[in-house]
Chains A and B, each alone.
Chain A
Amino acid sequence: MLKALLARAHQGHRTVGFPDRPPVLPDRLRGRPQIDSTKCPDGCHVCADVCPTDAIAVSEKGVQLDLGRCLFCPECERACPEGAIRFTTEHRLATSSRDALVLGEKEFQLAQALDKKSRKLFGRSLKLRQVSAGGCNGCEADVNVLNTVVFDLGRFGIQFVASPRHADGVLITGPVTRNMEAALRETYAAVPAPKLVIAVGACAISGGPYFGHAEQRNGAEGVLPVDLYVPGCPPHPITILEGLLRLLGRINSTCGNLPDMR
C-alpha cells in the first residue's frame, strides 16, 4: 500500500488544464490547414494532384479543401511550390454540418451547441456508445485515451457505456464497412431517443483512405443522421474533446477564424 502511495506521488497530477487553459500540442501537429489562394500560380493544381483522398479542388474561386476527406498528411503542403497551403497547429476542427468542413471561400464555422432542450438533457451527463465500423484502431485509440487521467472525460459528465440502452448517442469511427452496417444500425436503433450521432475521423465522415472501396459505405452519413463531425486521421484527442464540449455548449464562440499568419 505504501509503495502504491509513493508511486502515486512519483507519477504526480497529470490532467490537462484544457479547456480552462489552451492545450499543449506538438509543434509539428498538422491541425487546421490555412489556405492562401492568392499565392497560387495560374493553372497550378499540384496540391489536388497529390492529395490521396481528392480532398482538394482547385477552381477559379481558389483552393477548396474538404476537411471531411483530409487525412492531414503532409503531401499537399510539401508539394505546393508557393506555400499556399500550410498546416497550422489549430486543433479546433469539429463542425455541425458536412458543408462546414469545406475550407475555402467562407468563414470556417465551428460546431454549434445543441439547442437548449437537448443541452438540458445531455449537457451535464452524456453517455455514448462507441461503434467501430471499420476503423483502423487509430480513432478508437484516441477516443479511448479520453478516459485516461490526462483528459479525464468523466469530469465533464461524459462517459462511454457498454450498452446502447444506457446511451444518449453513438460515436462512430471507421468508414462503415458493409460487414458492420447492420450492427451499426441495430446499435443505433437500440439507443433511446432523443439521440446523437458523432462521426469521428475521416473514415466516419467520408470513407477516408477507403473512399470508393466497394467493401464500405463512405462514412456514416448515408447510414445515420450525423450531429457532430470531428475530422482527422485520427483527430488529436484534444480535437475530439473540444468537439464534444462544444456540442454540449461548454465552449462558446463559434467563430473559427485562424489568426492571420501570413
Chain B
Amino acid sequence: MSADSISAVRNGEKVNLADLPPVAFDEFRETILSAVEAGAHLSALFGAIVPEAGSQRGRKAVDPGGLRLFAMLAREEEGTLTLTSTHIGDAYAALTPDCPQAHWFEREIAEQWGIRPDGHPWLKPIRFHHSYREGYDAWNRPAEISISPGVTDYFTMTGEEVHEVAVGPVHAGIIEPGHFRFQCHGEKVYHLEISLGYQHRGIERALIGGPNKRTIPGMETLAGDTTIGHTLAYCEAVESLAGCRVPARAQALRAIALELERLANHTGDLGALAGDVGYLPTASFCGRVRGDFLNLTALICGNRFGRGLVRPGGILFDFDDSRQAQFKERLEQGRKDVTNAVNLLWEAPSVRSRFENAGPVSRDTALGLGLVGVVARASGIERDVRAQFPSGIYRFAQIPVSLYHSGTVFARAHVRWMEIQRSLAFIFDQLKALPDGPVQAEIGPLAANHTVVSLTEGWRGEICHVALTDAAGKFAHYKVVDPSFHNWMGLAMALRDQQISDFPLCNKSFNLSYCGHDL
C-alpha cells in the first residue's frame, strides 16, 4: 500500500480532510484486511456523505451525493490508530467474508445508505428504518411501505423435537426491548439470533449540522447509563476540533466521574449476576451499593447519572474541599460495603458452580468478532482504551488492564471485580493530588473540513466517536460506535451449546446496551 493511503492518527487528534484523500476501494479493503490480520480491530466502519476537500474554495464538490466509507482501525499492541476512506458506488465487495467483525458494520452501512455489500453472508437490517438516502434501499423496499422491527429472515433449524423460542421485544423485567430467537433441541441452544432496533431514536442523524443546544442532551442519553463515557468522548472530539485545552483539574474530575460510572455499573452487574443464580445476599447488597456510587456522582453534579457535568471545555461543577471530604468518606464506606458483598459471592460454592463454564467465548472468537471492553478482557484480550489510547488524565495516571482467560460468566464477573478495585484505587489516588485551577476553559468554533476520532473506555468498553466537519465547521457527519455494537454478536456466540435456562445469566454477564446499539 502507498504511504498516503492511510493516516495514522492519535486518539483525539484532528486531521484535515484534505490530508485524508480517499483511496481506491481495493486499497481500502486491503488496508483493513491486513491490519485486522495483524491484530487490529475495527473501531468503526461507516458511510458518510461529506464535502470534498477543496470544495469550499469555490470548486464544485465531486458528486455531492457520493458516499464515502471510513474505517477506523485500532491496534492495541502498537497503540496505533489508522483512519482510511474510500468512495463507494451502489455496491461493493463485502469485507465480512474475510473479516467477520465487519459483519454488523456492513449491515448498518447497507441499511443507512442503501448500498449492497456484495457477498455479505447475512445481510439484514439491524435497526429497521428507511435509508438515509431517498431512492436507495439495499433490499429494494419502496419508500412508502412502513418497516416493521423484527420482521426479517431468521436462522432456523429443522428436525424432530427441534423448537424455537422467541422472546421480546418486551421482556420480563424492567429492561430495554430487544428480540431474541433461540434454536433449541431440548434445553440446549444451538443458535441465538438477536434482532434489535426497537430503541432507535435517530440521534446520529439529528447531530448533523451541530453542534447546537440539542447536541449535549443527545450525547448524554446515547446510552443513559454511560452518560459520562459518551459525553466525554464527544467533548474530547470537539475540544480537539476547536483547539481547546482542558484544565488539568477538569481532566482529573472527568476521569473520577468516568470511574464512578464504572464502579456503579460493575457493582450493579455483580449484584444482578448474584440475583440470577439466586444468591440473594450479594444481589441485595450490591443493588444498594450501586446506588451509593450513583449518589456520589450526584454529590458532584446533582444528577445520579452525571448529566449536566461534562461539557466542552471542562466540567460545570467544581469540587470544593468540604465536598471532597464528604465524598472520600462515603467512597470509603462504599469500598468496604462492595468488598464485603462481593467476597461473599466468591465464597459461595453454589455461585461458583453456576458461574464457571457458563457462556464461554474463546479468545479466538472474541478476536474474530472484534469484541471490546469487559467481555474482551475476560477472554484474555488486552484491550483497554485507558491503557492503549489514553486521553485526558489517563495519559499520566495509568490503570492496569484487568484480564482473565476463560471467557466465561465467571471471567466476566471476575474482571468486573478487578476493575472495581482498580477504579476505587484510581479515584483515591486522584483525590490525593487533585490539580488546582479552573474547571472550564473557553471553547471556540470547530475547525472546518476536519475529522477527529475520539475514544474513551466506558464501563462496557470502547466508545468511539468520529466527527467530520463541513466548510462552516459544523458536523457534516457524526458517527457513534457504542461498545454494545461490537459485543451483541459475542452474546449470541456465548449461548451456543448452553442451556437456554442460562440465558439470563449469560445476558447479564454481558449487560449490553440496547439504546446504545440502536442510537
Contacts and interface: CB of A to CB of B under 8 A. Distances in A.
Interface of A: 3-4, 7-8, 10-11, 14, 26, 28-30, 50-53, 71-75, 78, 87, 129-145, 147-150, 160, 162, 164, 174-175, 177-180, 182-183, 187, 208-210, 213-216, 233-234, 236
Given A26-B295, A177-B201, A180-B169, A7 B285 contact: yes
Given A7-B341, A135-B515, A26 B299 contact: yes
Contacts, number: 189
Given A141-B224, A187-B170, A7 B198 contact: no
Interface in B503-519: 513-515, 518
Given A14-B288, A28-B299, A213-B206, 16 more contacts: A7-B285, A10-B340, A73-B216, A134-B515, A136-B225, A137-B514, A147-B287, A179-B129, A183-B170, A209-B214, A209-B217, A210-B202, A213-B202, A215-B201, A233-B221, A234-B305
A8 to B, nearest CB: 7
Given A134-B199, A177-B201, A52 B170 contact: no
Contacts of A178: 129, 200
Given A141-B225, A150-B291, A215-B129, A210 B199 contact: no
Nearest to B289: A11
A29 B305 CA distance: 12
B307 interface: yes
Contacts of B435: none
B308 A74 contact: yes
Interface string B207-227: 000000110111011111101
Interface in B277-300: 281, 284-285, 287-288, 290-291, 295, 298-300
Contacts of B223: 136-137
Nearest first, the 9 closest Cβ-Cβ pairs linking A and B are A136-B224, A138-B224, A28-B302, A215-B202, A162-B172, A209-B217, A136-B221, A148-B287, A179-B149
Q: Which of A3, A136, A182 has the most CB of B within 10 A?
A: A136
Contact of A73 (B217, B300, B317): B217
Contacts of B170: 129, 131, 164, 183, 187
B213 A51 contact: yes
A214 B347 CA distance: 51
A61 to B, nearest CB: 24
11 contacts: A3-B344, A7-B344, A132-B176, A132-B177, A136-B224, A138-B221, A138-B305, A140-B174, A140-B175, A178-B129, A180-B177
Contacts of A183: 169-170, 177, 198
A216 B170 CA distance: 17
A136 B222 contact: yes
Nearest to B300: A28
A110 to B, nearest CB: 22
B287 A7 contact: no
Q: Which of B199, B281, B347 has the most CB of A within 10 A?
A: B199
A75 B217 CA distance: 11
B313 interface: no
A216 B344 contact: no
Q: Which of B285, B298, B303 has the most CB of A within 10 A?
A: B303
Interface in B295-343: 295, 298-305, 307-308, 316-317, 336-337, 340-341
A179 B199 contact: yes
